Amino acid sequence: MNATVHPPLVQPGNALSVEVRQRRSLGRRITLLMLLPSTLWFLLLLLMPLVIIMVFSFGERSAVGGYAGGFTLANYLNLGSRGAAFSNTLMLAPLGTLVCLVAAYPLAYFLAVKVTENRSLLLTLVIVPFWTSFLIRTYAWIFILSGKGIPAMLASLGLEDVRLINTPWAVLIGIVYGYLPLMVFPIYVSLEKLDKRLLEASADLGASAFESFRRITLPLSAPGIITGVMLVFILLMGEFLIPAILGGGKVFFVGNALVDLFLQSRNWPFGSALAMTLVVMMLLIIGVYLKLVARYGGRPADGGL
C-alpha cells in the first residue's frame, strides 16, 4: 500500500503563502508605527542635544559669552585646566560607590534573607528619605557636620579641631547618605530571587556558610551588585549638588565645573568640550558594564563545593 504524499501546506505562489506574507508585512508596519513615537522622542531629546553640544565644543566663546561659530581643538586641549574637577570626580565617585556597596550589601542581605516579618515596613523605611527633597536633606548635613554637630561631640570626647564641613569627607558622607538606597534595592531584588534550595544543597554537601556565600549567594547576586554600582557611579559622575553644598566651593566635581562654565562664565564651547569628554567616559564605563553583565550574569561560581 503506497503512502499518500501530502503537498506542503505553504507553497510559493499559492494563496496561503501570499496571505502569510501579507500578515507578516502588516505586523512589521504596525511594529514600526508603534516604535515611531519613542524613536522620535529618542532623537529629539537625546541625540539632537548631543549633536548640538558636540558642535558647540569645536566653536569659540563669543565676546559677550555663549557660542561663536568656528572650528578649533583649543577647548579640548584646555581640559587640563579643570584637572582638579576631574581628579575629585574620579576619586570620590568610585570611593563613594564602593562605600555604598559595602554598606548596602549587608542591609540588602538582611532584608532579603533574614527578615520574615515586617519586611515591607523595613523596605519603606529605606525609601522614606526620598519623600523629602534631596536639596533639603543635603542642607541638613551642614548642621550635622559643622562646628555644632559631630565636631562638637568629638570635642567633648577630647578630639579637638576636627573639621568635616567643606572637606572631601563631608562630600563622601553626603554621597553615601544620598545614594545608599539606590544601591540597596538592586541588590535586594537579586537576593530576594535567590533559590534557597541551592544553599540547602550546599550545606548538605558539607560546605561552610562562608563557602556557600562565596560560591552561590555572591555570584547569583552579581547582577544586582553590577546594576547598583553602575546606577550610583553614573549618577555620581554628574553630581554637583553635594559638592556645592557640603564641599563649600573647595571640592569641585565635573558637574560643578559645567554649571560654572554654562551659567556663570558663559563659556559654552569649553563647557561643551567638558561635557562631551564626560559623555565619552560614561560610554566607556557602560561598555565595561555590559561586558561584566555578559560574563557574570548570575551564575554560581565554577568548581566544586
75: nearest Cα among 291, 274, 303: 274
Q: What is the pTM of this model?
A: 0.81
Torsion sign over Cα 75, 76, 79, 81: negative
Separation between Cα atoms, residue 276 and residue 59, nearest integer Å = 13
Separation between Cα atoms, residue 267 and residue 145, nearest integer Å = 34
Q: Would you state the pLDDT for residue 183?
A: 95
Measured CA to CA in angstroms, residue 118 lies from 72, 122, 185, 298 at distances of 61, 6, 17, 28
Separation between Cα atoms, residue 294 and residue 132, nearest integer Å = 37
Please write the tens of the pLDDT for every residue from 279-303. Answer: 998 888 888 877 877 776 555 555 4
Q: What is the pLDDT along the chain (305 residues), one digit of tens a residue?
A: 455 555 554 455 556 577 778 788 887 888 888 888 888 888 888 889 899 999 999 999 998 888 998 899 999 999 998 889 999 999 999 999 999 999 999 999 999 988 878 888 888 888 888 888 888 999 999 989 988 888 888 888 888 888 889 999 999 999 999 999 999 999 999 998 888 888 888 888 888 888 888 888 888 898 899 889 989 999 999 999 999 999 988 898 999 999 999 999 899 999 999 999 999 988 888 888 778 777 765 555 554 44
Please write the tens of the pLDDT for every residue from 179-224. Answer: 999 999 999 999 988 888 888 888 888 888 888 888 888 888 988 9
